[in-house]
Amino acid sequence: MQKENFTKQAVAQKRQLPKIVEETAPVPPNELGKLPPQALELEEAVLGAIMIENDAFSIVSEILRKEHFYKIAHQKIYAAIVSLYMGQNPIDMHTVTEQLRKTGDIDDVGGAYYIAMLTAKVASAAHLDYHSHIIVQKYLARELIRISSDVQSKAFEDTTDVDDLMQEAEARLFEISQQNLKKDVIQIEPVIAEVLKRIEAAAKRQEGISGVATGFHSLDNITSGWQKSDFIIIAGRPSMGKTAFVLSMAKNMAVDYNISVAIFSLEMSNVQLANRLIMNVCSIDGDKIKNGKLSKEEWELLDKNIVPLLNAPIYIDDTPSLSVFELRSKARRLVKEHHIECLFIDYLQLMNASGMNFYSREQEISLISRSLKGLAKELDIPIIALSQLNRSVEGRSGGYEGKRPQLSDLRESGAIEQDADMVCFIHRPEYYGFTIDKEGNDLHGIAEIIIAKHRNGTTGNLSMRFESKYAKFWNLDDFTSKHYQSFESSINTNADFYPEDNTNLTVTEPLQYLPSALQINEDKCPF
């Protein structure tokens, strides 16, 4: 009897054991699984509202796309609605059902009964735009989960290159962010107010510059400075001085006007760029800077002129093969932290859009140029990108005019020409052996800036002085005032330029260039 009681107690304890374990260690809810972010009730409400309200689709068409819907049946219904709208047909329960029958999707979505049920669930189209935005947010959350899961999976693989994976992840995230960049329509009054504000600010400046001044007067007269949100292309064949032109501008902006600028150099290292800037600012031959064989006067010149450059707000990034997505991240940070007002890229064809697949290089360049234009608008600063020209200009006949670059000479020209607000060419006739123009003017050391496209202004040509040994561009008038040496003379202003009586002429330094107004008859020259 005692043994039997003991056995019953043991069995009872065994029966209680699972119950005790179940109470003390329940299964955590998150271990039961997770559902992707979704809003099925809102998807039904939106689709039902579109079919009962005439103007409902016009509200959601700018917000929603087919893939934003989580349920496949809802994607097919929305696709049928889009087809009806594109065909200018009415959108209601019957027309949508008929359209789904034509495409063979009626059974996949649950038949005519399900379409009718969607309309029965909705009383009106109130809050339709708000509901649509929630559906988009759920879609973006699902995309982020998908991308992060894919990146995580690849990160565990030993064969994966981490740098390539980071570029790919950034590219895919950039693509999602671009999809979500939408701006609402606004009434014109605040826009006009902003325009008037800028006009008033420009009027207060004596030089009449409304944008970022380049320091080149003839260029600023045409452009009024580089304008905010503009994407500018500066193109030319190799050895035309594209980098020198950009560095001269950057020096003018940063040193003379205290404007913060950033230079992304994909071709040259930061040390090479610094050498070029020193050549430019100090007017010292580049070869002497490389080998250090400077004269005493040049050392003094270096010590005197390099100080403003040391404190100049110039920021350099020499990352090779920079991707447009990486540039976007860096540019945002530069604007936020250093208040960059102008951004230079040297040069566009060396950039890439890694992490994305393209059928051709032209497609990749198209994405890059389109992204740079979008970035200029987003940051509200001018972005200036250098670009190469193809070889067609070299083989073109036609003499002096034949060697002048054209828009069709841009490498991968279609997208660049379309996206750019302004396209400028640098042309040095001397490079092709032309030393005198049609009017007989000397072209030695002359660079022509050709504004071939100007979306918000006039086109035209202007000339500058280019000094190759200093990698420097000058205004022609600056060059005259600084480099055409002064005269000390007692010549009567109404007399001929020939020394008679006690007329004296002193030349302080040998002349290398003479303005056309000072051309001297060598037969009568007294010196």
Most confident of 75-79, 351-355, 449-453, 493-497: 75-79
* The pLDDT of residue 364: 79
Higher pLDDT, 500 or 233: 233
Query: Per-residue pLDDT for 382 more than 80?
Result: yes
- Mean pLDDT, rounded, for 284-301: 78
The pLDDT, as a whole number, for residue 54 is 79
How far apart are alpha carbons 218 and 207 in whole angstroms? 12
User: Residue 208 has what pLDDT?
Assistant: 63
Q: What is the mean pLDDT of residues 364-390?
A: 86
pLDDT score, position 9? 52
Which of the four pLDDT bands, split at 50, 70 and 90, describes residue 490? very low
Whether the predicted pLDDT of 383 surpasses 80? yes
What is the pLDDT confidence band of residue 325, given thresholds at 50, 70 and 90? confident
Edge to edge, the sheet with strand 261-265 lists: 314-317, 261-265, 342-346, 383-388, 231-236, 422-427, 446-454, 460-467, 472-474
Each residue of 423-442: pLDDT tens digit? 898 888 887 777 777 777 77
Q: Where are the beta strands (DSSP E) in 378-503?
A: 383-388, 422-427, 446-454, 460-467, 472-474, 487-489
Between 431 and 206, name the one with better pLDDT.
431
Taking residues 309-327, report their average pLDDT: 83
Residue 461 has pLDDT above 50, yes or no: yes
Residues of the chain by 3-state class (helix, strand, coil), percent to 5: 50, 15, 35
Q: Where is average pLDDT lowest: 93-107, 189-203, 380-394, 495-509?
A: 495-509
pLDDT > 60? residue 340: yes
The whole-number average pLDDT for the span 236-252 is 86
**CB within 8 A of 223, min separation 6: which ones?**
211, 214, 422, 451, 454, 457
- Which position among 98, 175, 267, 417 bears the catalytic label? 267
Mean pLDDT to the nearest integer, 282-293: 76
What is the overall mean pLDDT for the chain? 77
- The answer on pLDDT for 392 being more than 70 is yes
* Percentage of the chain exceeding pLDDT 90: 10
Rank 9-13, 52-56, 180-184, 313-317 by mean pLDDT and report only the highest.
313-317
Is there a contact between 263 and 315 (Cβ–Cβ < 8 Å)?
Answer: yes
Q: Return the half-sphere exposure (C-beta side, CA atoms, 13 A cut-off) of residue 16.
A: 6
Q: What is the mean pLDDT of residues 252-258?
A: 87
- Considering 1-5, 95-99, 357-361, the range whose residues carry the highest mean pLDDT is 95-99
Please say if the pLDDT value at position 13 is more than 70.
no
List the beta strands (DSSP E) in 151-278. Answer: 231-236, 261-265
- Confidence class for position 183, pLDDT limits 50, 70, 90: low
On the question of pLDDT at 492 being above 70, the answer is no
Q: What is the pairing mode between strands 460-467 and 505-507?
A: unpaired
Q: For the segment 106-161, what is each residue's pLDDT rounded down to a tens digit?
A: 999 888 899 999 988 887 777 888 898 899 999 989 989 988 888 888 888 888 77
Look up tokens 């800028």; give the residue: 198
Confidence of residue 269 (pLDDT cuts 50, 70, 90): confident
Let me know if 267 is a catalytic residue. yes
Tell me how far apart the alpha carbons of residues 314 and 310 are, in angstroms, rounded to a whole number. Answer: 9
Query: Quick one: pLDDT at residue 410?
Result: 77
- What tens digit of pLDDT does each residue of 494-526 get? 444 444 444 444 444 444 444 443 444 444 443
Say if residue 291's pLDDT is above 90: no
Mean pLDDT throughout 151-178?
79
pLDDT(167) > 80: no
